[in-house]
Amino acid sequence: MMPLEKPFRSFALIGVVAAGLVSSTCLGQTVHSLSGTRVEVFARVPAARAMTVCGDALYVGTKGNAVYGVPLTGGPAVRAAAGLVAPNGVACLGNKLYVASRDRVSAFTPIPGGRLAQRADLPARLPNLAHHGLRYIQAGPDGRLYISIGSPCNICRPEGLQGTIVSMSPTGGEFRREAWGIRNSVGFDWDGGVMYFTDNGADGMGDDIPPDELNKLQPGAFYGFPYFGGRVRLRGFEAAAPPAPQVPPAYEFQAHVATLGIHFYRGTMFPELRGEALIAEHGSWNRSIPVGYQVVRLRIGSGRSGNGQSFLSGVGRPVDVKELPDGSIVVSDDTGGRIWRVSR
């Protein structure tokens, strides 16, 4: 077992492996990553979903009722907040941690050791629907909070705020719709001041259509759902007239890989990744030959379709990708309940 750099030594580490093609005897699974990297379990968090660094901790949302904090200086994950409804999304803005639950956004004050205090629910209310009800939240470069609201179906005509990305001020005011015609986005990030967001394609149309999407935000634009999945007409809406011109995807992924979290790498530990997007493919559940179950790297503008280049696989069902202050990369796995760390 190889030692970690001191700022990120954690008693929660389960197994450390020098990567390329590696086998972790601790976990009984084979992990693939870049040659010369190290892959370890940074922490165990049940049903781990979205992540963000805030203060001295990595905070992790879940599908359950709690948010967890993992101290960056060491120690196991702690239950930082509870009593929430599917608190999938977490975002840091200023000195606050914002948590996007199914029906609301709550602000907390981080305290040392990965804990949270002083919960305050923002006045804005979100549609409280379970289907595609795991909200994703990020702080934009404009100081606003951006939140995705999934469509409550496989293929249907959304109503109201369903199938949108919205934004609000940190106090919950100045609420506005940023994009619509979205089936279910569970990841977005900014590159050069421009937001890119993933979107999961519809089920039930076969192994190979429609594609999963990566979209470039044009404020207020329509992205095609339920009339289009990528450039494919969706079942039941083949002859229907869309309400507005569709902005087509910036990139189309293989159908059913389930693209979720995205992060543009900004650090120095992996200089070859600078400016590239790292995208979590949660993996198919509805395809005759399973696909996904990996994190891929993609340089935007290098193509219009494909599946990117594999960066990390063999780590369960990846959900989110984030960067720690030293430039190492963490990936959440909601099925295995683990946070993986990739470093050099």
Q: Which pLDDT belongs to residue 10? A: 41
Per-chain mean pLDDT for the chain: 92
Sequence ranges of the domains in the chain: 44-336
Tokens 């650090």 map to which residue?
267
86's tokens: 């599917």
**For range 135-164, the mean pLDDT:** 98
- 48-79 as b/e: b if 16+ CB within 10 A: bbbbbbbbebbbbbbebebbbbbbbeebebeb
Considering only residues 161 and 16, tell me which one the structure prediction assigns the higher pLDDT: 161
The rounded distance, in Å, linking the Cα atoms of 222 and 200 is 16
Q: Which pLDDT belongs to residue 75? A: 81
Q: What percent of the chain has pLDDT over 90?
A: 88
Q: What confidence tens digit (pLDDT) does each residue in 48-85 have?
A: 999 999 999 999 999 999 999 999 987 899 999 999 99
Class of domain 44-336: mainly beta
Q: What confidence tens digit (pLDDT) does each residue in 200-247 have?
A: 999 999 999 999 999 999 999 999 999 999 999 999 999 999 999 999
Looking at the chain, the number of H-run helices and the number of E-run strands are 0, 31
33: how many CB neighbours lie within 10 A of its CB?
A: 25
**For range 27-41, the mean pLDDT:** 86
- pLDDT class of 28 with cuts at 50, 70, 90: low
- pLDDT class of 186 with cuts at 50, 70, 90: very high
Query: Is there a contact between 264 and 277 (Cβ–Cβ < 8 Å)?
Result: yes
Q: What confidence tens digit (pLDDT) does each residue in 239-277 have?
A: 999 999 999 999 999 999 999 999 999 999 999 999 999
**For range 123-134, the mean pLDDT:** 94
CA angle 233, 189, 73 (to 5 degrees): 140
Whether residue 25 is predicted with pLDDT greater than 50 in this model: the reply is: no
Whether residue 12 is predicted with pLDDT greater than 80 in this model: the reply is: no
